[in-house]
Amino acid sequence: MTVHVPDSLSPTPSAPTYRGRYAPSPTGPLHAGSLLAALGSWVLARQAHGHWAVRIEDVDRLREVAGAAQGQLATLQAFGLVHDGDVLAQHTRDARYAAVVDDLLAKGHAFVCHCSRADLAAHGGRHLGVCRASGTRPDPAIRLRVPADTRVDFNDAIRGPQSQQVDVAVGDFVLRRADGFWAYQLAVVVDDGDQGITDVVRGADLLDSTARQILLQRILGLPTPRYAHLPLLLDAQGRKLSKSLQAVPVDARDPMPALRFVWQALGQAAIEADTPAEFLAGAVARFEIARVPTRDLVIAASHNTAATHDA
């Protein structure tokens, strides 16, 4: 049984058949890893003569840094990564997420869960069909019921065939957190659906979330976009660059070094250009998805050179 999703943000019938998006969380300034994801999703949308949206993923107000969203948007602008249409911010979408979750609860696809982390610890932290709550809590979570033997297969345009048995690997997953915030998995699926996104191009840290998102799309009766997961930039300790922000500066006043750096990290052949506009025109002409590394990249210690090697 599917849940009816009102068409609040759907594209008009004449909309392009390729609709991509870049969806940063406003947790700090754009760093090289986020610029890589922005450039990768932008260039594929432009090659396809498609629509490229920017969405601010600010459901988790605890992680939000004041002014970060405006800073990220200004940096994208300075780099020439111009989005189409209005920027959608998730904090404006509470009523929409609530309506979807109410429907899922009413149809038995979701349930209220009082389990604490300690209750789930004996099960590898997963919620597997049965609530183990040792008591009721004033602020329960809401979880998606993941039926037994739920296997999701998909083909990633960069990483190839993927498969996850969601009930075993993840279990019943959270749609609304116990602290009242909407879960990323819910917000991203509802927004991608409402915005008519056909192509999700993003960092490979979300490869593992994709099966959950496809499952939720199926339950909601939403189409599944195509997926492409770009390599992460890691520091020598294997941490995402966001954890060590200064590794490769992304300077809005001087975009060329960072543009060249992420272009090389995307495995692409050098482009001769003096300005971001020239560079981006060359990028649209030359980008080849087959050249994108299929593994994450460790930034060499002399990080301001664009030296990378496979993790």
User: Which residues contact ligand GLU (rule: CB under 6 A)?
Assistant: 23-25, 57, 188, 202, 206
CB of 115 to ligand GLU, least distance (A): 26
Nearer to ligand GLU, 55 or 279 (CB): 55
Q: HSE (CB half, 13 Å, CA atoms) of 41?
A: 33
CB of 52 to ligand GLU, least distance (A): 13
Nearer to ligand GLU, 44 or 188 (CB): 188
CB of 79 to ligand GLU, least distance (A): 17
What Å distances lie between residue 37 and 22, 47, 125, 244, CA to CA?
8, 15, 30, 17
CB of 250 to ligand GLU, least distance (A): 15
CB of 201 to ligand GLU, least distance (A): 8
**21 membership: H or E segment, kind and range:** strand 19-22
Nearer to ligand GLU, 33 or 171 (CB): 33
Q: How many angstroms separate the CA atoms of 162 and 160, rounded?
A: 6
Say which amino acid occupies 251. D
Q: How many angstroms separate the CA atoms of 86 and 39, rounded?
A: 19
In this structure, what are the phi and psi dihedrals at residue 298, rounded to the nearest 5 degrees? -95, 130
Nearer to ligand GLU, 115 or 176 (CB): 176
Q: How many angstroms separate the CA atoms of 240 and 131, rounded?
A: 34
Nearer to ligand GLU, 120 or 144 (CB): 144
CB of 202 to ligand GLU, least distance (A): 4
Handedness of CA 63, 24, 94, 147 (dihedral sign): negative
Q: Angle at CA 302, nearest 5°, toward 299 and 304?
A: 80
Q: Kindly state the tokens that stand for 115.
A: 């389990």
CB of 56 to ligand GLU, least distance (A): 9
Nearer to ligand GLU, 194 or 279 (CB): 194
Nearer to ligand GLU, 115 or 215 (CB): 215
SS3 assignment, position 301: coil
Q: How many angstroms separate the CA atoms of 69 and 58, rounded?
A: 9
